[in-house]
Copies of this chain bind each other. A is one copy, B any other.
């Protein structure tokens, strides 16, 4: 096991009606002038906007707001948010929405106290100072409510990149599974795929003998696979939504990833897909992750066998481990298809002729590869995209 430092100080307020505590939680986090950040009109139609506003006003907080975050959040709105936060002397950014809203809120919170261009944080500079961020989560998927990460698409270049910094972990996150009752099935399935991908990026490690985190990863994967079908059958199944929602947080707050190298190559491959086609992140991952797995499974076949037997219920073929590894991948694909996810380029409108552009956007070279379990150069990237055709 590798040395690690782990600190997840986010307060999670989980369950029915917990959004009523939002004002109190902002106040306890030291906030008084709040920027409320959200996406489209769904939180207004559902009444959530009104309940959150009431909770904020009950605590005498001053509130300004900025809506309009779209999936795969864009830099333009972040600049607008930073200007607004400065103008209104905001001291707390409250994200009400899913991962895109949270990531955009984190960008605004970091950018508001930074003298340079906030996009520096999406080019490798670690965020070390930020306004505090709070979350009321409406879509379980990205895990951004408990993570130190944020992903933004640069509108000018079309490049989608991640930024990070421990200060970006939200001060609190309100998670009410009832807020997921109205999610369309495709969105629930995309979210769950994102969770599985977050776990798998950690599962595929070069660190040996990390049994506890292996087992924790497997626990989350097994849970997502048992709960998502229940949610798709009945989106008002509270317990299934609750297990799935909390799985999304656990999948990405790094409790499953401490003390081990992590890969993250598949996420990079997907970012180019969603930058070019604006596909849902989870759906893009459903296309790219199995392709990546097929390309790299010779690297540590035993690890793929472990996944296949412990998570996908395969019998181990000791005479031919690779057949077990491949069967595991097949079952993963079958699961994804069973929950309505695409698993090929064609299904998401991605085109073979765009592959060179995607390879270019990845920004890899033989000297600067991406991924840790399997460092990918340009030829690997191209081959994996082709496996996803």
Hey, which bits of chain A sit against chain B, CB under 8 A? 1-18, 177, 208-212, 215-216, 218-220, 222-223, 226-227, 238-240, 242-243, 246-247, 250, 255, 258-259
Contacts and interface: CB of A to CB of B under 8 A. Distances in A.
Leading 9 A-B pairs by shortest Cβ distance: A3-B15, A209-B239, A215-B219, A9-B9, A7-B11, A1-B242, A219-B219, A212-B223, A212-B243
Contacts of A211: 223, 226-227, 243
Contact of A11 (B6, B208, B238): B6
A15 B145 CA distance: 27
Tell me which of A8, A16, A220 has the highest count of chain B C-beta atoms within 10 A of its own C-beta.
Answer: A8
Contacts of A7: 9-12
A118 to B, nearest CB: 27
A6 B14 CA distance: 8
26 contacts: A1-B14, A1-B15, A1-B238, A1-B243, A1-B246, A4-B12, A5-B12, A5-B13, A8-B9, A14-B259, A15-B259, A208-B239, A209-B240, A210-B243, A211-B226, A212-B220, A212-B227, A212-B243, A212-B246, A215-B223, A216-B219, A216-B250, A242-B259, A246-B258, A250-B255, A255-B255
A312 B180 CA distance: 35
A240 B210 CA distance: 9
Given A3-B18, A4-B12, A212-B220, 9 more contacts: A1-B239, A6-B11, A8-B9, A15-B259, A209-B243, A211-B223, A212-B219, A246-B258, A255-B255
Contacts of A243: 1, 209-212
Nearest to A224: B212
Contacts of A216: 216, 219, 250
A383 to B, nearest CB: 34
A259 B240 contact: no
A108 to B, nearest CB: 24
Nearest to A1: B242
A319 to B, nearest CB: 23
**Which of the listed residues A5, A210, A227, A259 has the most CB atoms from chain B within 10 Å of its own CB?**
A5
Contacts of A240: 209
A210 B15 CA distance: 13
